[in-house]
């Protein structure tokens, strides 16, 4: 007998919402459930004082893929926000990512030739054939001054682990360039949805049945029986009742403040490198949408170890966790009527555009 739904989609973040949208287009009937009291996963924004506050951390959309850019823009127009964070290090502000402005501020080098020579001199002391960890990677890419000023303390706060115990790929996310260009991303397309990210999710989920405040695990039998297939975007270890062990994540605590001033820091993102600050960055949300409100809302971001009851934000992709994930993945491959996807189900440090691309690939395969 045909079941009530073709798909029950667990989690209404980007993966689940894109899947639902594409499934509906293919004529499938979906039910999306989310344990939170709202949809959107971590891109959800809360309106405070007329400002879209990125409740689960700053999200800046960027991609090189025009098709993806057009895909998101069909639901909501994106503005031309460019992420140009600053880093406060030992009492001084510097531009990020590492570019000619940073090098000038740090060393006084004025030309690419001077800056390259300086970096060459710095990295020549750390010739590592194949960097084994984040520290080795950073030292061999940018040398000791940049590592000490902008990376080591920030990274160790962010991950709660020594930089020598972290995978090297994390630091490769940050560009290095020899132009005076403070754009944090190398991608061609970048921006924030005009009116906030909730519009993107509302567009994706338009016309689809959604239930919030529903935890799949409290009634999984029922949901499994309701649908032909489950699309699961939650934590993979939780799906298997943690039977092989618990995967580690990094969590974050967000401390919001409403300030009776128009402009607190003049920029959306300021990173606080030094370990004297327990937080890693302060986000001033109005700047994402060039807000002119009388007040401003800022958020200090305190990294924490993940534990039950906390949000799992960043997978810890070290060897130990990665091999545990690989074991879970083997189990996942045996689940015939379940599609796993997203940052938590794949235990991968995905950006938004990557999650959307992945959901589109999976749906193409599913509905071909
Ligand atoms: N990072 C750093 N200093 C900075 C910013 C980032 O050392 O000022 C390192 C840190 O380890 C971080 C990684 O680079 O986890 C990736 O940074 P990104 O800004 O991409 O992190 P996200 O915004 O995803 O938290």
Q: How far is the CA of 98 from the centre of ligand 1 (A)?
A: 12
Asked if residue 313 has pLDDT above 90, the reply is yes
User: Would you state the pLDDT for residue 9?
Assistant: 98
User: Would you state the pLDDT for residue 54?
Assistant: 98
Q: Which residue bears the tokens 């403040």?
A: 257
Q: How far is the CA of 214 from the centre of ligand 1 (A)?
A: 33
Which ligand 1 atom is the nearest neighbour of the CA of 155?
A: 11
User: Would you state the pLDDT for residue 175?
Assistant: 87
Q: How far is the CA of 158 from the centre of ligand 1 (A)?
A: 8
Confidence band, pLDDT 50/70/90 cuts, at residue 53:
very high
Which ligand 1 atom is the nearest neighbour of the CA of 134?
A: 11
Residue 357 to residues 13, 16, 232, 364, Cα–Cα distance (Å): 14, 12, 16, 10
User: Would you state the pLDDT for residue 199?
Assistant: 98
Q: Which residue bears the tokens 């999710």?
A: 201
Mean pLDDT, residues 156-162 taken together: 95
Asked if residue 127 has pLDDT above 80, the reply is no
Mean pLDDT, all residues of the chain: 96
User: Would you state the pLDDT for residue 304?
Assistant: 97
pTM of full prediction above 0.85: yes
pLDDT in tens, 283-294: 999 999 999 999
Q: What distance in Å separates the CA atoms of residue 288 and residue 83, rounded to the nearest whole number? A: 9
Concerning whether 238 is annotated as a catalytic residue, the answer is no
Mean pLDDT, residues 51-61 taken together: 98
Concerning whether 125 is annotated as a catalytic residue, the answer is no
Residue 304, Cβ density class (10 Å: 0-12 exposed, 13-18 middle, ≥19 buried): middle
Q: What is the CATH number of domain 5-83+188-248+315-366?
A: 3.40.50.720
Catalytic-labelled residue, pool 250, 314, 328, 346: 250
Which carries the bigger pLDDT value, residue 106 or residue 127?
106
Nearest CA to ligand 1 atom 20: 173
Residue 282 to residues 158, 209, 253, 301, Cα–Cα distance (Å): 13, 36, 12, 6
User: Would you state the pLDDT for residue 125?
Assistant: 84
Mean pLDDT, residues 213-233 taken together: 97
pLDDT in tens, 324-349: 999 999 999 999 999 999 999 999 99
Q: How far is the CA of 174 from the centre of ligand 1 (A)?
A: 7
- What lines the ligand 1 site, CB under 6 Å? 87, 96, 150-151, 154-155, 158, 170-171, 173-174, 271, 273
Which ligand 1 atom is the nearest neighbour of the CA of 58?
A: 23
Catalytic-labelled residue, pool 248, 281, 289, 350: 281
Confidence band, pLDDT 50/70/90 cuts, at residue 129:
confident
Name the segment(s) of the chain with CATH classification 3.40.50.720: 5-83+188-248+315-366
Mean pLDDT, residues 42-70 taken together: 98
CA 328 to chain centre: 22
Confidence band, pLDDT 50/70/90 cuts, at residue 357:
very high
> Which H, E and C letters describe the chain, residue by residue?
CCCCEEEEEECCCHHHHHHHHHHHHCCCCEEEECCCCCCCHHHCEEEECCEEEECCCCCCEEECCHHHHHHHHCCCCECCCCCCCEEEECCEEEECCECHHHHHHHHCCCCHHHHHHHHHHHHCCCCCCCCCCHHHHHHHHHCHHHHHHHHHHHHHHHHCCCHHHCCHHHHHHCCECCCCCCCCCCCCEEECECCCHHHHHHHHCCCCEEECCCCHHHCHHHHHHHEEEEEECCCHHHHCCCCCCCCCEEEEEEEEEEECCCCCCCCCEEEECCCCCCCCEEEEHHHHHCCCCCCEEEEEEEEEECCCCCCCCEECCCHHHHHHHHHHHHHHHHCCCEEECCCCCCCCCCCHHHHHHHHHHHHHHHCC
User: Would you state the pLDDT for residue 128?
Assistant: 79
């Amino acid at each position: 007998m045909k079941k009530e739904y073709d798909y029950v989609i667990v989690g209404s973040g980007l993966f689940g919402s894109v899947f639902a949208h594409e499934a509906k287009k293919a004529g499938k009937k979906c039910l999306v459930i989310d344990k939170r009291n709202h949809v959107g996963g971590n891109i959800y924004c809360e309106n405070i004082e007329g400002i879209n506050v990125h409740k689960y951390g700053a999200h800046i959309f960027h991609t090189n893929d025009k098709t993806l850019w057009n895909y998101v823009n069909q639901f909501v127009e994106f503005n031309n926000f460019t992420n140009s964070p600053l880093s406060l290090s030992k009492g001084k502000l510097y531009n990020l990512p590492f570019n000619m402005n940073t090098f000038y501020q740090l060393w006084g080098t004025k030309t690419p030739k001077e800056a390259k020579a300086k970096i060459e001199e710095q990295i020549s002391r750390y010739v590592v054939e194949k960097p084994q960890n984040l520290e080795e990677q950073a030292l061999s890419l940018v040398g000791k001054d940049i590592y000490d000023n902008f990376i080591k303390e920030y990274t160790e706060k962010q991950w709660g682990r020594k930089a020598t115990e972290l995978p090297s790929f994390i630091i490769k996310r940050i560009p290095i360039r020899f132009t005076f260009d403070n754009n944090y991303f190398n991608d061609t397309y970048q921006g924030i949805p005009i009116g906030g990210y909730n519009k993107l999710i509302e567009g994706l989920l338009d016309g689809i049945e959604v239930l919030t405040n529903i935890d799949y695990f409290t009634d999984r039998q029922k949901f499994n029986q309701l649908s032909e297939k489950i699309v699961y975007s939650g934590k993979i270890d939780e799906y298997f009742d943690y039977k092989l062990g618990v995967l580690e994540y990094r969590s974050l605590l967000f401390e919001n403040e409403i300030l009776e001033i128009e402009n607190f820091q003049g920029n959306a993102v300021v990173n606080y490198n030094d370990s004297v600050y327990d937080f890693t960055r302060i986000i001033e949300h109005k700047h994402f949408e060039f807000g002119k409100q009388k007040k401003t809302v800022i958020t200090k971001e305190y990294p924490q170890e993940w534990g039950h009851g906390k949000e799992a934000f960043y997978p810890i992709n070290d060897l130990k966790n990665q091999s545990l994930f690989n074991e879970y993945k083997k189990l996942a491959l045996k689940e015939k009527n379940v599609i796993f996807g997203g940052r938590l189900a794949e235990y991968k440090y995905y950006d938004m555009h990557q999650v959307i691309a992945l959901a589109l690939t999976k749906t193409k395969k599913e509905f071909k």
